[in-house]
Amino acid sequence: MTVTETTPAVALAAPTGGNRRVVAALVRRPTFVLSIAVLLFWAAAPLAVLALGLDAYGQAGEPHQPPGAEHLLGTDDLGRDVFVRLLAGAGPILVVAPAATLLASVLGAVLGLVAGYHGGIVDDLLMRSFDILNALPGIVAVLLVAAAFGRSPVTIVIAIAVFFTPLIARTVRSAVLVETNKQYVEAARTQGESTRRILLAEILPNVAPALVVESTIRLGYAIFVSAGLSFLGLGARPPSADWGLVVSQNRIFIQTSWWSIAFPALAIISLVVAINLLADNLREVLSR
């Protein structure tokens, strides 16, 4: 996977029917409903572990027990229940990845609005700065930051956000360039509205669909990066049930207890696929 891949910048206009029409169009799409169901399941999973008082860290049975009636998804090398750890492991990844994406979205929106609206030297300086940030492959840049400043959740969030910010900013900038020359912007300028008000009250609502779609796509990449860092030992620490860490710890048992690796890996895939389906549906509905 190449996380530096960018989505074509398309200025997506908000549907004229309003929010209700957008929601109605989305809920009629089976893939959208399925993606939301998967996301809600994984978001509720760690909360269910806490509410039910399940133990994701203590020994629940004999090591390497295969899936069965006693342990639905078997046990790992320490006899811990794989299913319970699978549910608990959704927590770390659904904190780090969304937080990083949110931070990148806010920074990218601000920088994209400024670059697209002002143009000229401001635009050139920002774009060249983005080129410098993207000079290294994404995962390498994040690895360097994590290795240099530690592997705390805050560091990981900032590292991922710094890398994704230019990608989101470019998409917002492209959408702003389309909107800047439209009549409503010219009218706002003529009325003497401040640049801040024009950007936030006039242009931002019209480029918001493009921002939402791009941010959703980046969330999928952020999950992969977060899991990859844990797999490489730069993310979550033992005994965390983080999916990437679990796959890394159990990879040596792939021939004797494949279930301890397969199910966390499938969980990562299911979450990323659900987010990509969500992004595809948003893009198709909001571009109408």
Distance set, CA 117 to CA 121, 172, 174, 178 (Å)? 12, 10, 10, 10
Nearest-angstrom CA–CA distance, 214 and 205: 15
Q: Quick one: pLDDT at residue 93?
A: 93
Neighbours of 221 (CB within 10 A): 26
pLDDT by residue, tens only, the chain of 288 residues: 444 444 444 444 444 446 788 889 999 999 999 999 999 999 999 999 999 999 999 999 999 999 999 999 999 999 999 999 999 999 999 999 999 999 999 999 999 999 999 988 998 999 988 888 777 666 777 777 777 777 788 888 988 998 899 999 999 999 999 999 899 998 988 898 998 999 999 999 999 999 999 999 999 999 999 998 889 888 888 889 999 999 999 999 998 899 999 999 999 999 999 999 999 999 999 877
45, two tokens: 């999973």
Q: For each of the domains in the chain, give its residue range(s) and CATH number, in order of start.
A: 40-56+72-286 (1.10.3720.10)
Q: Quick one: pLDDT at residue 91?
A: 94
